[in-house]
């Protein structure tokens, strides 16, 4: 749930794959309760988040042809991610994301 523009290639592609994996798992009837309880998943934002990541992937010239089913726009509200905590964790453990964040923060106000 970090601004996709500050994410390094690996993290951008990684989170994008995770979304498809979550959707696949939920459709298959598998429980994602653990992720919701740990504050790692917002069911109601899967669609919009996927759109944001896909847009950034295309902007960087990567091919993207894995759209989410439109039914995810209507997903029930469930789960909550602390965006500030996510940002701190990401730039705390990834030098590339940290570098992008620093460069980005010079010109924009990143939340
Ligand atoms: Zn996709
Ligand atoms: Zn990174």
Mean pLDDT of 39-59: 96
Distance 63 CA to ligand 1 centre (A): 10
CA of 71 to the centre of ligand 2 (A): 30
Q: Give me ligand 2 centre to Cα 73, in Å.
A: 27
Please state the domain extents for the chain.
4-107
Detail the DSSP E strand segments found in 27-111. none
Contact (CB, 8 A) for 6 and 99: no
The answer on pLDDT for 1 being more than 90 is no
Indicate if the pLDDT at residue 39 is higher than 60.
yes
The yes-or-no verdict on residue 108 having pLDDT over 80 is no
Give the ligand with the smallest distance to the CA of 21. Answer: 1
Separation of alpha carbons 40 and 35, rounded Å: 5
The pLDDT tens digits of the residues spanning 50-68 come to 999 999 999 999 999 899 9
pTM of structure? 0.90
Q: For residue range 73-88, list pLDDT tens digits in order.
A: 999 999 999 999 999 9
């Amino acid at each position: 749930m970090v601004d996709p523009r500050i994410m390094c290639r690996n993290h951008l592609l990684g989170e994008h794959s995770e979304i498809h994996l979550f959707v696949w798992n939920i459709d298959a009837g598998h429980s994602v309760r653990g992720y919701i309880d740990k504050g790692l998943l917002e069911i109601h934002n899967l669609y919009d988040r996927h759109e944001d990541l896909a847009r950034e992937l295309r902007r960087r010239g990567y091919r993207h042809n894995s759209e989410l089913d439109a039914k995810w726009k209507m997903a029930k509200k469930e789960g909550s991610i602390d965006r500030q905590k996510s940002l701190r964790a990401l730039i705390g453990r990834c030098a590339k994301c940290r570098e992008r964040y620093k460069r980005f923060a010079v010109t924009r106000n990143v939340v």
